[in-house]
Amino acid sequence: MRFGEIVGLTRNDFDFVNNTIKINKTWGYAKRHTEGFGPTKNEQSIRTIIMDGKTHGSL
């Protein structure tokens, strides 16, 4: 995951029943970008990933 994708995660992106995380947006943080939510780098960046047990337990 890219840094902006991690920072852009919200509660709605976590599915604790199916142990997945949706990556569908980023958080702009660099000087050249507007701060706030924005689209992913490209369409292929929109994905759902499996949440491992350690991550699930930490949240």
pTM of the model: 0.81
**Residue 28 token pair:** 């702009």
- Tens digits of pLDDT across the chain (59 residues): 899 899 999 999 999 999 999 999 998 876 666 778 888 888 999 999 999 999 999 98
Three-class secondary structure of residue 58 per DSSP: helix
